[in-house]
């Protein structure tokens, strides 16, 4: 059943929508190995109540509310929220229909071909042009994606398992899980800023799964790595595992975008190789950065450093760890800090839970101040477990509204300073459906929404809505959107407009 799209099943008027894979909905699979994440997706308690309120508002807006007008330099909030939500839902319905009629794979005019391009020496300018195309709805064709993947493997295999950034300067940014959220990636990169000024970017894994644009997110980071090899460092997360991401979204997404070519054409193997080639940790003067946590109470960093690139590359999955090296890596990718002292089994089913006493002992033994990690959803985007004496475990999670743009949490990044301290910069992204709405309207996939496309898209949407919910002033809305009177609107303008009104 692989290859079906992600479907949005409305549970009831009193329940928020929940996104699940059609393959998982129609077949019996094993329980997820990380119940922490599963429990977040259920949105229990206050978070569920808040989500239900949003759902109720979205389903009941009136015609009076859909007239977008300027109000003291801002815009009315409710209409744009509902318009984007409805357009995004229509986009998903269109995708589902294409898949069910066996025309799911995008046409060739959506594919970018760079045959003969040497990705190993790609210039920053060329990389940014490709990234811009990916963010406007294009995807790399299969041959180009494999070429990019092979270049990335070569780059990662030249790096040690534990990256040494102790002499990398005092401008280091750490990014946590992005999980296939293209809107959050754009927000993160805005906060990171230019990579031309000597700054260092470390991404602590989990680029894929539980979001709708894992391919674009991962390709973006690979292009940045190859264009800025001494400024961008990518680490492996627990979802960079060909067993895990086959179950939690990435394989489904690739099947939607490439069809049979995903496996028979070598795309899945090429990307699995990239996952396995990724380094596992990075050390600065005062911190150790990794995805999950400490694998044992007596963990020595030297043991992880002793695993060479060839050995780690042989581990395409860590879900059935057998050798000491596999078990060590499993613990690094899956473990979590705990409010309780000591160590205990991890409810995820992999790795351990370790207390502040275990973390402080590790930090003391290695002369470090912080253990910086990702892996775990935290409501404010970052969270400190205080270990005493100015030391701690810092969690950073860079996907806002997790998962699938439906949650209530903020995202964050960390900025490390020359003293080894950090600043957490949080962000919210109220509607991760903006990109889907843009792509639905951009029918010729040229990265611009023309007036005719906008009006046609709204008219098509209106045909699916009850009378009281139809947008009857689409011309007026587009006039406000197209403030430069160019007759077409790019993704950045579209995004900024709706971010401002949500």
pLDDT digits (tens, 9 = 90+) for 77-101: 344 556 766 776 666 555 445 444 4
Least confident residue range of 28-32, 130-134, 476-480:
28-32
- Reported as type and span, the H/E element at residue 493 is helix 491-501
Catalytic residues: 239
DSSP helix, strand, coil percent of the chain (3-state; round to 5): 45, 15, 40
User: Of 232, 183, 244, which Cα lies nearest the Cα of 204?
Assistant: 232
DSSP 121: G
Domains of the chain by start residue, with CATH: 108-427 (3.60.21.10)
**Alpha-carbon dihedral 346, 347, 349, 350, rounded to 10 degrees:** -30
Lowest mean per-residue pLDDT among 352-356, 395-399, 452-456:
452-456
Written as six digits, the tokens of 325 are: 């090296």
pLDDT at 72: 31
The partner residues of 189 in beta bridges, in order of sequence, read none
Token digits of residue 432: 């991760």
> Which range among 182-186, 278-282, 283-287 shows the weakest confidence by mean pLDDT?
182-186
Question: Model confidence at 431, in pLDDT bands (50, 70, 90)?
Answer: very low
The pLDDT of residue 429 is 66
- Report the predicted TM-score, pTM, of the whole model to 2 decimal places: 0.73
Can you tell me the distance from the alpha carbon of 302 to that of 216, in angstroms, rounded to the nearest whole number? 35
Burial 452-486 (b: 16+ CB within 10 A, else e): ebbeebbeebbeeeeeebbbebbeebbeebbeeee
- How high is the pLDDT of residue 433? 59
Q: Kindly give, in sequence order, each residue whose CB lies less than 8 Å from that of residue 12, ignoring residues fewer than 6 positions away.
A: none
Q: Is residue 342's pLDDT more than 70? A: yes
With 0-12 / 13-18 / 19 or more C-beta atoms within 10 angstroms meaning exposed / middle / buried, residue 49 is: exposed
Encode pLDDT of 110-123 as tens digits. Answer: 789 999 999 999 99
Residue 342: alpha-carbon gap to chain centroid: 32
Which helix H or strand E contains 449, and what residues bound it?
strand 448-450
pLDDT reading at 196 higher than 50: yes
pLDDT above 50 (res 76):
no
What is d(CA 232, CA 113) in angstroms, rounded to the nearest whole number?
A: 25
């Amino acid at each position: 059943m692989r290859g079906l799209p992600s479907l949005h099943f409305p549970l009831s008027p009193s329940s928020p929508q929940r996104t699940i894979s059609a393959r998982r909905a129609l077949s019996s699979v094993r329980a997820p190995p990380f119940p922490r994440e599963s429990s977040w997706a259920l949105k229990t308690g206050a978070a569920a109540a808040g989500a239900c309120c949003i759902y109720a508002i979205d389903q009941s807006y009136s015609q009076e509310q859909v007239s977008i007008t300027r109000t003291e330099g801002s815009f009315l909030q409710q209409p744009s929220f509902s318009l984007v939500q409805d357009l995004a839902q229509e986009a998903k319905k269109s995708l589902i229909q294409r898949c069910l009629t066996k025309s799911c794979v995008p046409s060739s005019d959506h594919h970018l071909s760079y045959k003969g391009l040497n990705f190993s020496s790609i210039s920053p300018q060329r990389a940014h042009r490709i990234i811009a195309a990916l963010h406007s709805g294009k995807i790399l064709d299969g041959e180009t994606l494999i070429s990019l993947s092979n270049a990335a493997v070569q780059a990662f295999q030249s790096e040690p398992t534990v990256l040494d950034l102790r002499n990398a300067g005092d401008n280091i940014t750490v990014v946590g899980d992005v999980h296939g959220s293209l809107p959050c990636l754009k927000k993160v990169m805005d906060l990171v800023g230019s990579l031309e000024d000597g700054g260092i970017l470390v991404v602590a894994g989990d680029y894929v799964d539980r979001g709708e644009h894992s391919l674009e997110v991962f390709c973006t980071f690979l292009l940045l790595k190859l264009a800025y090899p001494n400024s961008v460092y990518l680490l492996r997360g627990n979802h960079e595992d060909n067993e895990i991401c086959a179950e939690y979204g990435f394989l489904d997404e690739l099947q939607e975008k490439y069809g049979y070519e995903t496996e028979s054409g070598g795309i899945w193997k090429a990307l699995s190789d990239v996952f396995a080639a990724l380094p596992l940790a990075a050390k600065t003067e005062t911190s150790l950065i990794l995805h999950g946590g400490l694998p044992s109470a007596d963990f020595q960093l030297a043991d992880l450093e002793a695993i060479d690139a060839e050995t780690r590359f042989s581990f395409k999955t860590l879900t059935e760890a057998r050798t000491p090296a596999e078990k060590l890596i499993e613990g690094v990718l899956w473990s979590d800090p705990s409010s309780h002292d000591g160590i205990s089994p991890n409810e995820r089913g992999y790795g351990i839970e370790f207390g502040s006493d275990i973390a402080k002992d590790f930090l003391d033994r290695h002369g470090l101040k912080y253990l910086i990690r990702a892996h775990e959803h935290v409501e404010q985007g970052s969270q400190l477990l205080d270990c005493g004496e100015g030391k701690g475990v810092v969690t950073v999670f860079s996907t806002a509204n997790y998962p699938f743009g439906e949650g209530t949490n903020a995202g964050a990044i960390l900025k490390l300073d020359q003293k080894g301290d950090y600043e957490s910069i949080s962000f919210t992204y109220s509607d991760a459906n903006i990109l889907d709405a843009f792509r639905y309207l951009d029918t010729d996939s040229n990265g611009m929404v023309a007036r005719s496309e906008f009006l046609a898209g709204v008219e098509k949407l209106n045909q699916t809505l009850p009378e009281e919910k139809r947008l009857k002033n689409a011309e007026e809305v587009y006039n406000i959107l197209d403030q430069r009177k160019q007759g077409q609107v790019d993704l950045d303008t579209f995004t900024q407009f709706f971010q401002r009104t949500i």
